[in-house]
Amino acid sequence: MDVVVAAEKSRGVNVRLAHSIIEEIEKEARLAGSRLGLVVYSRRPLPLVDLAGSSSSSGISEAYNYCPILDGRPEPLTGIMEAYEMIQDYKPTLPITSTIVLLWSAAARPRVPLKEALEAMENHGIPVKIIVLKPSPPKWLPRLLGPSYEPDKLRFVRKTTNIQKLASAILAEATG
């Protein structure tokens, strides 16, 4: 399985929380033998670790840590699209399942709605798992996600959230 984490790195994100989630996803993916990629985004995406590396799955949490805070209003669409391009660029000859994990602060409303991107990923058979780094959804979230908005499919991180269980549940859902 290929897992590409599209993680926000802006002024509005809790960097420690995002790092710990990426670290747990990295551990779980390593146990499953998955290839990992990392895209960091704010206004523009920055691919840091691509899927072409070995299947050792090491380095994405450190890469996130060393990346500076990016300027601009976070646009999760750019992170999703860059993650999709990474999956397409390193697609193996044998069919393999791929998933995109979006870490998003939802601190500011993006200018570009996500509904078309989520529908396109669904049509290509690539699920997008959204982890919102805040305890409750903002009021504008249903309009931004459109008909694909299902509160059960989004994961909101609260103080009581067990991050290890969250990471293993997301990767378990991705493998089906």
Q: Along the chain (176 residues), what's the average pLDDT of each consecutive run of 10 residues? A: 93 92 92 90 91 62 91 93 92 82 92 86 90 89 76 81 91 79
Per-residue pLDDT, 114: 85
Whose tokens are 């929380």? That residue is 17
Smallest CA-to-CA distance from 168 within 14, 34, 13, 17 is with 34
How many structural domains comprise the chain?
Answer: 1
The domain in which residue 113 lies consists of 2-175
pTM (2 d.p.): 0.91
CATH of the domain at 154: 3.40.50.410
State residue 34's pLDDT score: 86
Name the E strands within the chain: 2-8, 35-41, 45-49, 98-104, 128-132, 154-156
> What gap in Å lies between CA 8 and CA 14, rounded to an integer?
9
pLDDT of residue 56: 46
Place of tokens 């399985």: 1
